Structure 1
Amino acid sequence: MTAQGVRGEQLLSGGERFAPEPGFFAKLIAPGFTNILDRIDAGLERGSLIGHLPDGTTRMLGGRAPGFEAEVWLKDWRALLRLATNGTIGWYQAYEAGEWDTNDMTATFAVMSDNVRTLGGTARSSGPFRWAAALAHRFNRNDKAGSQRNIAAHYDLGNDFYAAWLDPSMTYSSALGCGEDGLEVAQQRKLEAMAERIGEPKTVLEIGCGWGSMAEHLAQQGAKVAAISLSEEQLAYARQRRDSSIEFRKQDYRDAAGQFDAIVSVEMVEALGREYWPEFMDCVARNLKSGGRAALQYISIEDDLFETYTGTADFIQAYIFPGGLLIKSSEFRQLAEARGLGWQDELRFGPDYAETLRIWRERFEDAVAHKRLPEGFDDRFVRLWRYYLAYCEAGFRVGNIDVHQVTLVKQ
């Protein structure tokens, strides 16, 4: 234990509220273990899982058509009970408890994600556990006080932590065109693409500025930039390291007031929650001059999966991004257009996010192996972060989630 104590505990302990241990009651209502395996097998239309079971037997699940392939070592039958009652949250808790392991975590998640429509409720929380997770998620709603808590839980883990595995620009969003030229070049390419969408504005508001790489890029092009965030850690870094002409403010987007030639926002809207999407679009419309342009980068989930996704909370909402919600792109567009914001030049580049996450995961593992993580992050947190990066990478590889850039033009 360090003088700082265990870092990341707010995320670890916060997630526990979503899925209590499956006790005697769960054992009464859960199907038998064989039945759970049968349901998974029936739902895998593509790809396969080879399951090494606690009784020493091995079973192939799926294998009917080409797809992702992985092996899982099930060390305790309770892992299936957790999956059946608490879905992705329970499956993570089983991993944390050492009840299962795999030869390829990303591939394991990809098999499940690729078959999410045919698996139905097999990998989602059920009954009272579903309601409990949904209720816990409601307590993380993003009113002004909640937004401050939720942002701090994730982004205030420490600048030293993120610096250990992000690229030197400290850009924590999808790169564009990941390839042989490396992550840092691909992140710069993303910043340039966002800047091109807004032309050559004199004044820019950035909503959710992170560690300031986007704001600095715009300032270096001659814009006067006001950049807002709720993260104390990110703002401290940006104020110390970035262009001194940038005005970095600790401010909720709902309090932003002014008239700007352009607005940019990179992967901030996933932190809002559906009930606050209209307020975000109000903010853009209110602060953008007539004829002005806004450039957004955001993460979506496929429309046909959205309502099921919002019916409860998943692993990411429980343990990684409290209060978070992926965007339903069609609804988000309707909200923009209803406020006179024309939706133009939409670009989707989900495979680049999969590659960005793969590189982050490799850099994180290297930092762990060479003891470059700052003190205070214990093995439990390391396993959480490893799981998170692989889980998200799988979603983008399959295509159930995507990343977009779009330009909004105020009519």
Structure 2
Amino acid sequence: MTTTPARSATRWPGLDTVPSGVRTEVSARIARKIFHAAVRRLPVTVRDGAEVVGLGGPEMVVHRPDEFYRRVGSDGLIGFGEAYLTGAWDAEDLGGFLTVLAAEMPRLVPGWMQKLRAVYVKRPPSMHRNTTDNTRDNIAHHYDLSNDLFRVFLDETLSYSSALFDTSLTRVVADGRRHLVATPPEGGAEDGGEPLAQAQARKVERLLDQAGVTEGTRVLEIGTGWGELAIRAARRGATVHSVTLSREQLELAEQRVAAAGYADQVDIALCDYRLVEGEFDAVVSVEMIEAVGHEYWSTYFQTIDRLLAPGGRVGIQAITMPHDRMLATRHTYTWINKYIFPGGFLPSVRALEEVTAADTSLRISDRLSFGTHYADTLERWDLAFREAHEQVAALGFDATFERMWHFYLEYSRAGFASGYLDVQQLTFERTRA
């Protein structure tokens, strides 16, 4: 089924009008000084009118400086992204340019300004708080755009999360914690490498292994996606109860499950995770905790703890960020929140450890980090998306949407390529009966 695009071709609130006024003029001048000071010491090339700034590297061209600095001065990183959507600036190697910035993210803004963060950054609107009333709309904003849109850039498994490529694993110690780290994939998106569908299958199968899913296992999946994990769990002989808040995903996932011959083993429900009842031997969730909201992490894990049978295990794949950055940004309204994931927020591993230790009997027993694999996954998605320009346009999405989606994929890739973000498979087990 194809839905009507959530954003019409003529309505992009906030983009038609460039910020103005005396206060904007002042903030624009400050933004220009801060931006130039930041990029002057970075391996990038910024062409700002007649001026060229930076040490040389991926190039950014500021086409309309007045607009660019007005937007950045008025709205910070949201304005930075919006200036890209309007074409006020561009970069041929967008991902490469953003990766340099992401690597310096904690240091881009002067220390004195970071201390005043709470004064000038916008807080998320109350409607983005993931209450049981709001969460459905937050999820629909992204996942109910159009199943056909996601088909044009995902592989045949329709897996919308990081793949795990066939690389070696090393055991490292960080912050006193031992965990596995996957070495970077060999062969990027443009020169072949392992097929994405194969790497996506490996990701799912490993998570099912970690959760102990075998013949007869009662599985709860939080966040259905388009059904790939449920199908693979059923193929092992498990019974699966999967919950989602996306009507579009539910419809297609049910079709895929039936086509695979597992309709009698898989039940998919349009249901908030907080309302699930029953007992399950394994609970699995792939990149859904990012949509929970930090206010509800405790509720999320308490729910899992309540539903998990004695001896059961939990497998969660989560995008994570450093703990100090998580603390600094948890009340910040971001470009990603505004345009892509309303109510979304990334946890740190430490935060998850603290929440589960304080409020549940669950503890992390195994941890695999593979952030570089997400960078590769996102690069492949972006290449496929851009190659499908005509299909995207035929679905009713306009040029601004295409720039937005390209920016979103490359902005995300930069986070993982720079090491600012990570993705982890976390296994949880009980410490008491």
The code of the aligned residue for 2:220 comes to L
Q: How far off is 1:135 after superposition? A: 4.5
Match of 1:85 in 2: 74
Does residue 397 (structure 1) correspond to residue 411 (structure 2)? The answer is no
Match in the other structure for 1:112: 101
CA distance in 1 between counterparts of 2:41 and 2:48 reads 21
Task: Give RMSD over aligned pairs.
Answer: 2.7
Counterpart residue type for residue 20 of structure 2: G
1:364 maps onto 2:381 in alignment:
no
The answer to whether the Cα contact below 8 Å between 1:176 and 1:349 also exists between their aligned partners in 2 is yes
Structure 2 distance, partners of 1:253, 1:299, is 19
Alpha-carbon distance in structure 1 between the residues aligned to 2:18 and 2:123? 16
Residues 1:319 and 2:307 are matched in the alignment: no
- 1:169-318 mapped onto 2 (5 Å cutoff): 169-177=157-165, 178-179=185-186, 180-201=193-214, 202-242=217-257, 243-244=262-263, 245-318=265-338
For 1:342-361, list aligned pairs within 5 A: 342-361=363-382
* Matching residue within 47, 51, 61 for 2:54: 61
AA matched with 1:159: N
Which residue among 145, 155, 167 is the counterpart of 2:133? Answer: 145
Identity %: 32
1:173-229 Cα distance to aligned partner (Å, 9 max, x none) = 000015522101000010111011022451000001111101110000000110000
**Cα distance, 1:73 vs structure 2:** 1.1
> What is the alpha-carbon distance in structure 2 between the residues aligned to residue 121 and residue 373 of structure 1?
41
Which position in structure 1 is the counterpart of 2:19? 22
Q: How high is the TM-score relative to the length of structure 2?
A: 0.85
Give 1:44 deviation, angstroms. 4.7
Q: 1:41 touches 1:62 (CA, 8 Å); kept in 2?
A: no
Q: Secondary structure at the match of 2:87?
A: coil
Q: Is the 8 A contact 2:3 2:146 kept in 1?
A: no
Give the aligned residue type for 1:280: Y
Q: Which amino acid aligns with 1:60?
A: V
Aligned pair count?
395
Name the CA shift for 1:318/1:361 in 2 (closer, same or farther; >3 Å).
same
Q: Distance in 1 between matches of 2:14 and 2:328?
A: 22
How far apart in 2 are the matches of 1:323 and 1:266?
Answer: 17
Cα offset, 1:49, TM superposition: 2.6
- Counterpart amino acid of residue 235 in structure 1: L
The one of 371, 386, 392 equivalent to 2:406 is 386
Shift of 1:345: 1.1
Aligned counterpart, 1:100 = 89
Is 1:167 the equivalent of 2:155? yes
State the one-letter code of the partner of 2:379.
Answer: R
- Greater mean alpha carbon deviation, residues 45-54 or residues 394-403: 45-54
Q: Secondary structure at the match of 1:392?
A: helix
What whole-Å deviation, never above 9, does each CA across 1:219-269 have from its counterpart, x for those lacking one? 000001100000000000011111212000111000011111110000000
Q: 1:11, 1:153 within 8 Å by CA — same for their partners in 2? A: no
Change (3 A) 1:121 1:232: farther
AA at the equivalent of 1:167 = D
* Paired residues of 2:39 and 2:53 also in contact (CA < 8 A): no
* Alignment partner, residue 170 of structure 2: none
Question: Aligned partners of 2:346, 2:375: CA distance in 1, in Å?
Answer: 16
Amino acid aligned to 2:157: S
- Once residues 4 and 168 of structure 1 are traced to their aligned partners in structure 2, the CA distance between those partners, rounded to angstroms, is 20
Per the alignment, do residues 401 and 46 of structure 1 end up closer, same or farther by CA in structure 2, a change over 3 Å counting? farther
Unmatched tracts of structure 1, length 5 or more? 64-68
C-alpha change, 1:383 and 1:356, in structure 2 (3 Å) is same
Change (3 A) 1:409 1:374: farther
Amino acid at match of 1:29: V
* Structure 1 residues 373 and 204, CA gap change in structure 2 (3 angstroms): farther
In structure 2, the gaps of 5 or more residues are 166-184, 187-192
CA gap of 1:342–1:388, structure 2 versus 1, over 3 A, is same
State the AA in 2 paired with 1:320. I
CA contact (8 A) 2:43 2:100 kept: yes
Q: For residue 66 of structure 1, what is the aligned residue in structure 2?
A: none
CA distance in 1, matches of 2:211, 2:283: 8
Residue pair 2:286, 2:317 contacting (<8 A) in 1 also: yes
1:52 to 47, 50, 53: 47
- AA aligned opposite 2:70: L
Per-residue Cα deviation, 1:14-35 (whole angstroms, up to 9, x for no partner): 8749x98422043343152xx5
Deviation of the 1:312 alpha carbon = 1.8
Distance 1:247 1:166 in 2: 24
Is the CA contact (8 Å cut-off) linking 2:321 and 2:348 kept in structure 1? Answer: yes
